[in-house]
């Protein structure tokens, strides 16, 4: 997004910024006495995107709500920069995007953003900035309830950029968005992650793999895996090749839809295989990964 450096003035800054820290110590949390998260402990302090993954019901939203100070833990402690999340000072360091739009009824888009600007304590100038940043100029006069799901998500995401914070909790920020806008949002989030801590949940594993540096996988309310995404080595690396003239060169039995599936030791073998196939006269139209190592975290 070319306008990003102007519209998001904090993006790209790396000097003179304080490092921040999220700490969960033995946290159990949930709803109405029923525990969804159980004895969760981890520390996050390196600026990066931490992809939060897990099957439905694993506790992703509960994790975000607990970290945002919305849910009070039944046990343990949540701290931001050493400050208990129950304190207002801790909450003002983070920005939260729920999977629900959270836009008030009875307000037009611009009014709704001003509503949150008031809550954030920022001026209308910031509203103007995020309207341009998210490209929602044409929506500003419309009632939120009249918008499509994708438009609602754009407006909802705009709120995140009203105020610069150092920790961003983004619960499915690209759901319901078309690919182009999803890409723009991911670029914005990547810019944030240069200096800030970003927790990002998504059901799109290819997106998660593309932007995440770390993975925090929840399983049954506990940490199933927490580490570098690059450390998640796939058991096998499958690529799909869509090509003309593949009969006789690639086994038909390996075909899934339009793609001939090839098993390789790793991504490094792809160029060599492609070169060999081209040498054999294949006209390759597309090559793509057929499986994602993150899928194993859902098993």
Partner 1 sequence: MTDESVVLLVARTPTLTGTTIRRTITVGWRYLAIGTALSLLLAFLLLAGARSGSAFARTFPLEVPLFAILGSMGGLMTFTSDRTKGVFEYLIAYGVRPRTLFIDGLISTSAMVAIILGLSLLVGFGAADAYGVTLSADLVQSVALYTVPMSFAGALFTATVGMIWASVSTPRTGINSPIGIAPMVGIAPTVLVLVVANTVPPSEFYYVTVGAAAAIIAAVVGLLVMSARLMGRERFLSSL
Instruction: Give the residues lining the site for partner 1 (CB under 8 A).
Output: 16-18, 20, 31-32, 65, 68-72, 88-89, 91-93, 96, 98, 100-107, 115-116, 118-121, 159, 163-166
Residue 69 Cβ vs partner 1, minimum distance, rounded to whole Å: 6
Which of residues 65 and 186 has its CB atom nearest to partner 1 in the complex?
65
Residue 132 Cβ vs partner 1, minimum distance, rounded to whole Å: 22
Tokens of 261: 């599936």
> Following DSSP, what letter does each residue of 237-259 receive, concatenated?
EEEEEEEES-BTTB-GGGEETTE
> Following DSSP, what letter does each residue of 93-150 receive, concatenated?
TEEEE-SS--PPTT-BHHHHHHHHHHHHT--HHHHHHHHHHTT-GGGTTSBGGGS-HH
Residues 259 and 297: beta-carbon distance below 8 Å: no
Which of residues 144 and 260 has its CB atom nearest to partner 1 in the complex?
144
Residue 74 Cβ vs partner 1, minimum distance, rounded to whole Å: 11
Which of residues 146 and 247 has its CB atom nearest to partner 1 in the complex?
146
Residue 75 Cβ vs partner 1, minimum distance, rounded to whole Å: 16
Q: CA 41, CA 111: separation in Å to the nearest integer?
A: 40
Which of residues 64 and 214 has its CB atom nearest to partner 1 in the complex?
64
**Among 105, 108, 148, 149, CA closest to 131:** 108
Residue 231 Cβ vs partner 1, minimum distance, rounded to whole Å: 30
Which of residues 200 and 259 has its CB atom nearest to partner 1 in the complex?
200
């Amino acid at each position: 997004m070319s306008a990003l450096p102007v519209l998001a003035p904090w993006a790209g800054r790396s000097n003179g910024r304080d490092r921040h820290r999220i700490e969960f110590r033995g946290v159990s949390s949930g709803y109405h006495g029923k525990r969804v998260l159980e004895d969760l402990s981890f520390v996050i302090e390196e600026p990066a995107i931490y992809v939060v993954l897990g099957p439905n019901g694993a506790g992703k939203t509960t994790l975000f709500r607990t970290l945002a100070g919305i849910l009070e833990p039944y046990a343990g402690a949540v701290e931001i920069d050493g400050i208990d999340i129950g304190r207002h000072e801790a909450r003002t360091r983070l920005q939260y995007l729920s999977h629900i739009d959270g836009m008030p009824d009875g307000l037009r888009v611009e009014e709704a953003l001003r509503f949150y600007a008031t809550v954030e304590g920022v001026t209308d100038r910031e509203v103007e900035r995020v309207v341009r940043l998210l490209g929602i100029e044409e929506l500003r006069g419309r009632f939120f309830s009249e918008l499509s799901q994708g438009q609602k998500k754009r407006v909802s995401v705009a709120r995140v950029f009203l105020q610069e914070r150092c920790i961003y909790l983004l619960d499915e920020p690209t759901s319901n968005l078309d690919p182009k806008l999803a890409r723009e949002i991911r670029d914005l989030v990547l810019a944030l992650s240069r200096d800030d801590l970003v927790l990002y949940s998504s059901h799109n594993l290819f997106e998660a793999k593309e932007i995440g540096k770390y993975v925090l996988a929840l399983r049954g309310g506990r940490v199933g895996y927490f580490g570098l995404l690059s450390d998640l080595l796939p058991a096998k690396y499958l690529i799909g090749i869509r090509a003309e003239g593949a009969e006789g060169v690639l086994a038909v039995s390996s075909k899934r839809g339009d793609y001939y599936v090839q098993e390789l030791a790793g991504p490094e073998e792809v160029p060599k295989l492609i070169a060999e196939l081209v040498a054999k006269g294949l006209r390759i139209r597309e090559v793509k990964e057929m499986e994602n190592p993150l899928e194993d975290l859902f098993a």
